[in-house]
Structure 1
Amino acid sequence: MNTSRPVITGRKGVIAAGHYLATSAGLKMFAKGGNAIDAGVAAGLALTVLKPNQNSLGGECPILVYSPVEKKVVSISGQGTAPGKATVQWFKDNGIEVIPGDGFLGAAVPGLFGAYCTALMKYGRLTLKDVMEPAIDLAENGFPLHRGLRDCILFEEKKFREHWTTTADTFIPGGRVQELGEAVKQPALGKTLRKLVQSEEAFRDKGREAAIQAAVDCFYKGEIAEEILRFSKNTPSMDLTGKKHTVLLEMEDFIKYQTRIEEPVYTDYKNCRVFKCGPWTQGPVFLQQLKLLEGFDLKGLEHNSHKYIHTLVECAKLAFADREKYYGDPDFCNVPMDLLLSEEYNKKQRNRVDMGKANNNRLWEEINNNGSDINIG
């Protein structure tokens, strides 16, 4: 593929992020003596400021790390858990058939901060203050409004003005959508980030890991969790049900939450071993696609020819259909990952790819997994 962009190389490290200022934040960690994990955490925290329309402290963060010391890849579960009150019966009793994708009803315990801190404690070198400095600067002093964020603000402008007025205070300051390049400032977020750093600083004499853990406790067991619940329980929010609701989360949900380090899911494709987080994410879908494509002669198809694209799309559809049918929280349902990645299963699935037409029928395969029940949690 021809491109005008140069190949990026480095002698001590390379970082790529979704915004150039996040990349810059990561590079600064190398200058401080940090490693790749420090750089990744700094870039990720910066992105919560730079791209709040795509990720935030209230969101999730699946992480894969290769540990040169342990000589293995690990998965850090940055997916928050659902509220204890969020039962099937509760939604039935309240006449809700589908959990809305906006508002408070779908809110889980935020997993992102715990995941980043776990990565930092276990595999990084620097302090939380070190890696959070760029994010604090961007929140307090601002960054140039970019097209992706502005387009999102314009798309949601009516909702912000009528229902999410505190969001409008931040992203429609003075009642006006800012122009591209104007400084976006988020002082409340900056205050939150500083509070977390202050919690770390208060325990600095206890050692690096204990100090970072103090910030984690502030978020999940202290002031931050309390403020999240105070706002979301006292500010009913309009959602796609057409009604206003408050959050189902309780303090107990935050206190019980623990970030976990887990074994990743992997498959071998040609000469590569490819890793993903578990089926609590959609990551294994990519592994399923690779297993399906392994049985096709992609090299023999002209790159981006209609047959090439058709093969990729049909295999993707089969893999995503399995996601809808079988994926879920392994703590609550049996996800037959070994079977889904097995050659026997994928050989049968490949036979469902018709090179002459698109398959728009029911795509998932009923799996008889030795009599075990398969549910979505």
Structure 2
Amino acid sequence: MTQFTTRPEITGTFGVVTSTHWIATAVGMAILEKGGNAFDAAVATGFVLQIVICAQGPAPAGATIEHYRAEGIDLIPGNGLLATVIPGAFDGWMLMLQDHGTMSVAEALAPAIHYARHGHPMLPRVADSIAGLADFFAAEWPTSHATWLPGGQAPQAGALFKNDALADTYSRIVEASEGAPTREAGVQAARDAFYRGFVAEAIDRFCRTTEVMDGSGAKHRGVLSADDMAGYAATTEEPTWADYHGWSIAKTGPWGQGPVLLQGLKILEGIDIAAMDPNGPDFVHTVIETMKLSYADREVYYGDPSMHDVPMEALLSDAYAADRRALIGDRASLHLRPGTVPGFEDQRARTLSLLDGLGKGAVYEPTMAHLSEKRGDTVHIDVIDRWGNMVSTTPSGGWLQSSPIIPELGFCLNSRAQMFWLQPGLPTSLAPGRRPRTTLTPSLALRDGVPHLSFGTPGGDQQDQWQLVFFLRHVHFEPNLQAAIDAPLFHSTHFPASFHPRTAAPGGMLIEDRVGQATIDELRRRGHDVTVTGPWDIGRLTAASRDAQGLLRAAATPRLMQAYAAGR
């Protein structure tokens, strides 16, 4: 049923790359052209995205509820140094390069160093964000002011922007890797330079000696130390799986929100989605209500499984899905309705008591820049090479407004600790060594047991909602990836947000006006609190696929006019 698309679906047999910035996509494709595989391309693309715009690190040893309470904090702010966990992305990229790539550190970092040293064209939204933060940076974060407003002037949209300090950092890491006896040893040397060398030392010094204003309205130092950095290493782990109509979908474990998509599919498996109009009120209502149920379980049960028991098997069971499915009625639910898992009743009660005291109002993950020019941007990458290797990855967290620039390094730290609670006894309570329940959630899918589809999106709490809508439309209605991405999108704001100030909008949802007035009117009649957006305001999806004959496909959203797919 393919209709008009904003762009052609990219097809080929050699390789495809799709990401949320055209320069990064071009870099990934160039790596494939040089003989690199999908893992090499993903690493190079990821580092470039860090320029032009995670293996998830855990909380530092000093990140205790007691310390934060003593600092006068009741809710971890969304920016500043107290919001920082151990940076994990660099080691994640290096582990991928070391174990699965073919290229050297120098080859993988060369494109990023080039754009940092010689400049990249500043995106208009980023230029607007910097201009809007100029006074705050000047007053409170002078190192960020020096980096983002060189000479005191905000960068102009489209003008070249350079970051020599970051180029120097990556160049020093490359130098540390050179001269190693093997490629793998060179990668390990780079990891050591970052986590046990000059990078860790600079981070430690900055956190110990710098006191900065954050979202709490007060100044605080960080607790991240060189010892925290030295003790961290990215790991590989088995994904969480669920089956759906001949597909098997792989997501993160419950330390991320990825299983909410799997729970949603288990619920929808017993509903005749294929019989619905993919832009009609039945489809939208059913998906929205399903995600409300899945996200309610996220709030109660998800957390770092290495430190807390998460009943994932029960949550993905057929019986549990059937019980949850029975709660979907003709009217929009206005209540948070987590399921009950035997043995977790007290945890459920504690969580609901906490959430009952939250404020109301829709909050968006910082990638929703079209709603506030002071917000940041997550990114996503999908790569498939000619050998059939697939990568789906969603790097995020180190936004320019997250944390002040460390001047010797040219980059800032992340703000993922804001996803912890300062109330004890929960799987998402702040604790040293615990990973925050991140919203980052790339996806891989097998079709009839064969790896077939890589997809994902920025968007915080919306990521698995947009991905679910895309996946359902692709499976049941629209084989063309670009057409499935282009179709009108929607999402719920019903459940508590993962980002500061952690508010919710019971019954709330957003939907693009292209869905049609009849659908919007019917959703409102069913009790949804509908906010209608512009025609191309929701979603940041990219996707790539490989069929049994080796034909590759790729697509990228036209929204925001910066994501692109390439391939041949």
TM-score (norm 2): 0.60
Which deviates more from structure 2 when the two are superposed, residues 150-159 or residues 221-230? 150-159
Distance between the aligned counterparts of 2:136 and 2:268, measured in 1?
43
How many residues of Structure 1 are paired with residues of Structure 2 in the alignment?
349
Q: Is the 8 A contact 1:220 1:255 kept in 2?
A: yes
Question: Is residue 301 of structure 2 the alignment partner of residue 326 of structure 1?
Answer: yes
Please report how far the alpha carbon of residue 372 of structure 1 lies from its aligned counterpart in structure 2 after TM superposition. 9.8
Q: 1:179 to 1:370 in 2, by over 3 A?
A: closer
Alignment of 1:61-100 (within 5 A): 61=54, 78-100=55-77
Q: Which consecutive unaligned segments of at least 5 residues does structure 1 have?
A: 52-60, 62-77
Percent of paired sites with the same residue: 38
Distance between the aligned counterparts of 2:204 and 2:344, measured in 1?
44
The letter for the 2-side match of 1:297 is D
Question: Is residue 284 of structure 2 the alignment partner of residue 285 of structure 1?
Answer: no
Distance between the aligned counterparts of 1:194 and 1:253, measured in 2?
24
Distance between the aligned counterparts of 1:32 and 1:254, measured in 2?
34
Distance between the aligned counterparts of 1:314 and 1:111, measured in 2?
34
- 2:44 corresponding residue in structure 1: 42
Q: Is the 8 A contact 2:203 2:226 kept in 1?
A: no
Q: Secondary structure at the match of 2:18?
A: coil
The letter for the 1-side match of 2:317 is S
What is the CA RMSD across the aligned residues, in angstroms?
1.6
Please report how far the alpha carbon of residue 158 of structure 1 lies from its aligned counterpart in structure 2 after TM superposition. 3.0
- Structure with larger RCO (C-alpha < 8 A, sep 6+): 2
Higher helix share: 1
Which deviates more from structure 2 when the two are superposed, residues 362-371 or residues 240-249? 362-371
Distance between the aligned counterparts of 1:2 and 1:151, measured in 2?
32
Q: Is the 8 A contact 2:292 2:336 kept in 1?
A: no
Q: 1:178 to 1:14 in 2, by over 3 A?
A: same
Distance between the aligned counterparts of 2:257 and 2:249, measured in 1?
14
Q: Is the 8 A contact 1:334 1:373 kept in 2?
A: no
Q: 1:369 to 1:269 in 2, by over 3 A?
A: farther
Please report how far the alpha carbon of residue 324 of structure 1 lies from its aligned counterpart in structure 2 after TM superposition. 1.4
The letter for the 2-side match of 1:36 is A
Q: 2:246 aligns with which of 271, 274, 278?
A: 271
The letter for the 1-side match of 2:307 is F
- 1:376 corresponding residue in structure 2: 427
Q: Is the 8 A contact 2:36 2:101 kept in 1?
A: yes
Q: 1:24 aligns with which of 26, 39, 44?
A: 26
Higher strand share: 2
- 2:325 corresponding residue in structure 1: 350
- 2:14 corresponding residue in structure 1: 12
The letter for the 2-side match of 1:233 is R
Please report how far the alpha carbon of residue 368 of structure 1 lies from its aligned counterpart in structure 2 after TM superposition. 1.1
Post-superposition Cα deviations, 1:196-227, rounded to whole Å, max 9, x if no partner, equal 11111142xx2111110000011001110001
Please report how far the alpha carbon of residue 370 of structure 1 lies from its aligned counterpart in structure 2 after TM superposition. 8.0
Distance between the aligned counterparts of 1:369 and 1:329, measured in 2?
18
Distance between the aligned counterparts of 1:217 and 1:318, measured in 2?
43
Distance between the aligned counterparts of 2:207 and 2:68, measured in 1?
18
Q: 2:334 aligns with which of 352, 356, 360?
A: 360
TM-score (norm 1): 0.89
Please report how far the alpha carbon of residue 257 of structure 1 lies from its aligned counterpart in structure 2 after TM superposition. 0.7
Alignment of 1:147-226 (within 5 A): 147-203=124-180, 206-226=181-201
Please report how far the alpha carbon of residue 371 of structure 1 lies from its aligned counterpart in structure 2 after TM superposition. 8.5
Q: Secondary structure at the match of 1:268?
A: strand
Post-superposition Cα deviations, 1:106-163, rounded to whole Å, max 9, x if no partner, equal 2111000000000011111111111110000000111111123223323433322221
Consecutive aligned runs of 4 or more in structure 1 exceeding 6 Å deviation: 370-374
Q: Is the 8 A contact 1:85 1:249 kept in 2?
A: yes
Q: Which consecutive unaligned segments of at least 5 residues does structure 2 have?
A: 349-425, 429-568
Which deviates more from structure 2 when the two are superposed, residues 291-300 or residues 257-266? 291-300
